[in-house]
Amino acid sequence: MLRLQALRIPPAARCVQQRLWAAPMSSLHGMPEGTTLDPPAQKSEQPASTPTEQQTGMAAMGQLFAHSLQQQMDKDPALQEWDRTRPAPPFAPDSAYPKPINPVKASQDGGESRIAQVPFTHWGLHVKCTRNNTIATVSNPAGEGVKTFSGGICGFKGNRRSSYEAGYMCATKAIEYLQTVKEKDPRSVRVNLYLKGFGQGRDATHKALLAAEGEVVRKSITSITDKTPMKIGGTRAKKKRRL
């Protein structure tokens, strides 16, 4: 409590301080002689000024200082000469700014250039699905068959070769072979899928590619072609096979 009382400024000293503050402000340029600014008012219980009133006061103060500076430049020839002869602000030439580009077109052009730099090798996965068997053949980029899997090769005999499990096993074996090919060159290998027939192996191949074991090959497939022939008229159908 004693420390707070020691820091208090007596009323007489406060009045002297306010007069010292008002003295230099009375000599501003552009103000009539004998005009003084009122000292700051004492704190009262009245509400503070609104933001609009504060902005208006700041704008008036800025105009006053600008008018005072202009009057000082009009009276001083040296300032007028400096204002006329001062160098212009530096500016960058047109070549310093990049030319405007279309980001969509630029991204498309960049993608095509990147694709063109990588020579893709298109391998083929041919799946022939009949009522009696499923045959999956892997062909190299030259179109030559390099590996063939069928229901009999996968261990299914008799009428089991036409089952769903036999078709799924054939597709899985062909996918595993393509995975070994892709591991040697993962960036350039692409796969074209060819389907023929409407046996149970067709649906089994689709399920095998959607499963976890077909994830790697599924991402490399670029085209799917249905090579099932369409019969329009023609000769007598082949006799149904008896087992």
Q: Is residue 128 part of a domain?
A: yes
Q: Could you give the CA distance from residue 91 to residue 167 in angstroms, rounded to a whole number?
A: 74
Band (pLDDT 50/70/90 cuts) for residue 228 is very high
List Cα–Cα distances, 218 to 81, 179, 208, 222, 223, in angstroms.
79, 10, 10, 9, 11
Considering only CA atoms, give the Rg of the chain.
46
Q: If you average pLDDT over residues 152-172, what whole number do you get?
A: 94
Q: Is residue 151 part of a domain?
A: yes
Q: What is the mean pLDDT of the chain?
A: 79
**Which residues are CB-contacts of 40 (< 8 A; sequence separation ≥ 6)?**
18, 21
Single pTM value for the model: 0.50
**Which residues are CB-contacts of 91 (< 8 A; sequence separation ≥ 6)?**
none
Q: What is the 3-state secondary structure (H, E, C) of the chain?
A: CHHHHHHCCCHHHHHHHHHHHHHHHCCCCCCCCCCCCCCCCCCCCCCCCCHHHHHHHHHHHHHHHHHHHHHHHHHCHHHHHHHHHCCCCCCCCHHHCCCCCCHHHHHHHHHHHHHHHCCCEEEEEEEEECCCCEEEEEECCCCCEEEEEECCCCCCCHHHHHCHHHHHHHHHHHHHHHHHHHHHCCCCEEEEEEEECCCHHHHHHHHHHHCHHHHHHHHHEEEEEECCCCCCCCCCCCCCCCC
Calculate what percentage of the chain has a pLDDT beyond 70.
73
Q: Is residue 7 part of a domain?
A: no
**Which residues are CB-contacts of 118 (< 8 A; sequence separation ≥ 6)?**
187, 188
Domain count, the chain: 1
CATH number, domain containing residue 145: 3.30.420.80
**Which residues are CB-contacts of 187 (< 8 A; sequence separation ≥ 6)?**
118
**Which residues are CB-contacts of 12 (< 8 A; sequence separation ≥ 6)?**
none
pLDDT number for residue 51: 62
pLDDT number for residue 226: 96
> Are 121 and 187 a contacting pair, CB within 8 Å?
no
> Are 101 and 136 a contacting pair, CB within 8 Å?
no
Q: Is residue 187 part of a domain?
A: yes
Band (pLDDT 50/70/90 cuts) for residue 102 is confident
80-94, 120-134, 145-159, 184-198: least confident range: 80-94
- Cα 203–208–210 angle (5° rounding)? 95
Q: Is residue 160 part of a domain?
A: yes
Q: Is residue 102 part of a domain?
A: no
75-84, 189-198, 232-241: least confident range: 75-84
Band (pLDDT 50/70/90 cuts) for residue 163 is very high
Band (pLDDT 50/70/90 cuts) for residue 131 is very high
Expressed as residue numbers, the domain containing 176 is 120-226
Q: At which residue do the structure tokens 């552009």 appear? A: 30
Q: Is residue 236 part of a domain?
A: no
Evaluate if residue 24 carries a pLDDT over 90: no
Q: Is residue 74 part of a domain?
A: no
